[in-house]
Chain A
Amino acid sequence: MSWIKNRSTAAKLMTGFLISASVSGAVGFIGIGGLDALDKMIGVLYTRDVHGALEAKEAHGLQGVMGRDLRKVMLESDSKLRPAQAKKVEEEGQALAASIDRLEHDAVLPDNKERTAEMKKLLAPYLVEERKVTALAVKGDVRGAVKALASFKGISDRLSALLDAYGEEKKGMIRQTYEESSKLHEELRRRLIAIIAGGALLGLLIGFAISRMISRPLARAAAALKKVAEGDFTQELQVDSKDEVGQLSAAVNDAVARVRKTLTDVAQVSTDVSSASQELSAAAQEISSGAQEQASSLEETAASLEEITSTVKQNADSAAQANQLAGAAREVAEQGGAVADGAVAAMGGITEASKRIAEITGTIDEIAFQTNLLALNAAVEAARAGEQGRGFAVVAAEVRNLAQRSATAAKEIKGLIADTARRVEGGSEQVGQSGKSLREIVTSVKRVTDIVGEIAAASKEQATGIEQVNTAVTQMDQVTQSNASQTEELTATAESLAAQAAQLQSLIAQFKLSAAAPTAAAQASSAASATASAEPAKKAAARSKAPRAASPASTSSRPPLANGHAPGADFVEF
């Protein structure tokens, strides 16, 4: 059974029709065989039996005609006519002989053959007697003819009896043949009925089996497809054969699974779109509030910019004043530098003079030292001189004293001069430093002048920059306004998107996609209906906002968009 199950539908149908065709072939074959047999029987019936019976009848008739014509010859008064009539009788005798030959030919059964043999035996005396009678009758000897006729009549009666028997036998044979043919017909009919009945039954069984094999899966597929048409995509057909119907079931399964997956994906996507549109709506509202904040910030910025402008102008004025002051400071510093240079030169002179004083004091010191040595030598000489040298010693001591005092004075001068030189050095160093500092001040003041000039230039640039910033802020203000209106449009778009997503979800909810799906679908549909009921109000609100948003959008927002400065262009694209 599984073998036939896995054949193709065409093969199944061909198998069924082959069996039916072979049954009808068998019926035809047997019927044709029976018909042939019947035809043969009828042929035999005709050629042998009917023909024989008719021939016997004809021969019997010929005998009767011959006897009548013979009597006609006898009864003919006109002698001239008698030979012609006798000749006719003779001819009729020959025809009878031929008919009897034919009967012999048709004889099949031994009885028939016996009868024909007897007929042939009787035919010769019969014809002899007949000729005797005719010869006598032609001569006109009626008495002799009547006498001869008696013997003729005896033979004729025996021949007639034989012919009758022959005919009866043939009739019996016809009946027998008919009965045989009836029997054959009966037999044939029974067999044909049996074969036809069996074939019909077999055909019915096979047809039922094949139709069941084909129609049941088809019915299942039809039922499943009907459920699919009602939106139930959980259907799965059982595939238990490999024929076209099995392939059809598998294909239906694939198609349903494909559509189910697609619809599941669509449901997921619609959920995603719904949440995304909600996020989008929230984001749009945030952007809207952000745009409002931005607008207020921009106003503050514009105010701040005005303050900055005045500050920058003040800055420029201050820079100019600072430039003048720096020039004055520079002149003063240059004068100071010249004074310091003069002081340095004076200090140098003082140092030079101090050095010379130091040299002079050195000389004085040297002289004092030498004087001291001389005085000491004098003291030594005085000591050697003893009492005579006492006064000299006193003078020497005085000289030493003076020398020491001058040395001390020289030392003091030297110290003072050294101190002075040191101080002058320190002073000149300081003056030099102050001169250096003044020069540095001059360079610094130059740099300050340069920097102040740069500051003034920078202030100018700042002023122009602030003007540009002001322009930009104005543009930003316009852009922000257009942003706000576009954000409102975006909100409306997001809301309509959410509504469409909800509609999509409700559409998807009509389909049963999994065993757990119905509840989710129900929720989705209820949610969809809820959002759908909520949508009109939002839409109405959006519509009421729309004209307000549209007018600035049409007038103010377009030029910035055309310039390509608007960051809101993205949203417009979206």
Chain B
Amino acid sequence: MDDKKSKGGAGQFLTFRLGDEEYAIDILKVQEIKGHTALTPLPNTPPFIKGVMNLRGAIVPVISLRERFSLGARPYDKLAVIIIVALGARVVGLLVDAVSDVIDLAQAEIEPAPELGASVDTSALTGLAKVSGKLVALLDVERAVGHASAAPN
């Protein structure tokens, strides 16, 4: 399990869509998948933090990955879902356009992320995989969310 959790390691991934692009995160980070529900906005937060939701009594902040990755704001339709991820003790909701599939990826299928230069932050991107002719970006959830939690500070 720990080996599979290694960076760029093979295993089961949950794919989702942001815009027209497919992204994938490690399925073991995923706690739950919820439909898009009403959120309670919080004051004095970055725009990509859409608010908080009540998950069986627990207050869970919800991050719009689209806005987190600077892909532009867009109204969410009924296909939008919130992926609840557990990062150690922290539980965070990721608002995405739609969930696609659960895929198995071998190590060979994963390509490392291209080097784009020091000025471009690609730390959240762990690799690229080709799935049935389409490129799927593999994301490191901690970094993606960690940046997000670090950003207001």
Contact = CB atoms under 8 A, between A and B. Distances in A.
A396 B33 CA distance: 14
B33 A373 contact: yes
A373 B35 contact: yes
A383 interface: yes
Interface stretch (A194-202, A302-310, A374-382): A374-382
A386 B12 CA distance: 10
Given A370-B35, A373-B35, A386-B1, A380 B27 contact: yes
A384 B26 CA distance: 11
Contact of A383 (B35, B101, B102): B102
B33 A380 contact: yes
Given A370-B35, A373-B35, A397-B102, A380 B30 contact: yes
B39 interface: no
A392 interface: no
Contacts of A396: 102
A376 B28 contact: no
Interface residues of B, number: 17
Contacts of A397: 102
B108 to A, nearest CB: 20
Nearest to A404: B101
Contacts of A400: 101-102
Interface in B15-44: 27-28, 30-35
Given A370-B35, A373-B33, A397-B102, A379 B27 contact: yes
A151 to B, nearest CB: 228
A383 B101 CA distance: 13
A492 to B, nearest CB: 109
Main secondary structure of the interface of A (DSSP, over half): helix
A369 interface: yes
A551 B39 CA distance: 120
Contacts of A369: 35, 78-79
B59 to A, nearest CB: 21
B27 A377 contact: no
A92 B99 CA distance: 231
Contacts of B31: 380
Interface string B5-20: 0000000101000000
A376 B35 contact: no
A376 B102 contact: yes
A370 B35 CA distance: 8
Contacts of B138: none
B145 interface: no
B128 interface: no
A181 to B, nearest CB: 185
B76 to A, nearest CB: 14
B81 interface: yes
A373 B81 contact: yes
Nearest to A376: B33
A383 B27 contact: yes
A376 B81 CA distance: 12
A370 B78 CA distance: 11
Contacts of B14: 376, 380
Interface in A362-415: 369-370, 372-373, 376-377, 379-380, 383-384, 386, 393, 396-397, 400
Contacts of A377: 32-33
B4 to A, nearest CB: 10
A386 B28 CA distance: 10
Interface in B53-107: 78-79, 81, 99, 101-102
Nearest to A396: B102
A369 B12 CA distance: 21
Nearest to B102: A379
Interface centre among B14, B30, B102 (most CB of A within 10 A): B102
A370 B14 CA distance: 17
Interface centre among B14, B30, B31, B81 (most CB of A within 10 A): B30
Contacts of B34: 373
Interface in B102-140: 102
Contacts of B99: 372-373, 376
A383 B12 contact: yes
A397 B35 CA distance: 19
Interface in A332-346: none
B79 A380 contact: no
Nearest to B78: A369
Nearest to A386: B1
Interface centre among A373, A379, A383, A400 (most CB of B within 10 A): A383
Interface in A109-161: none
28 contacts: A369-B35, A369-B79, A370-B35, A372-B99, A373-B33, A373-B34, A373-B81, A373-B99, A376-B33, A376-B102, A377-B33, A379-B12, A379-B102, A380-B14, A380-B27, A380-B30, A380-B31, A380-B32, A380-B33, A383-B27, A383-B28, A383-B102, A384-B28, A386-B1, A396-B102, A397-B102, A400-B101, A400-B102
Interface of A: 369-370, 372-373, 376-377, 379-380, 383-384, 386, 393, 396-397, 400
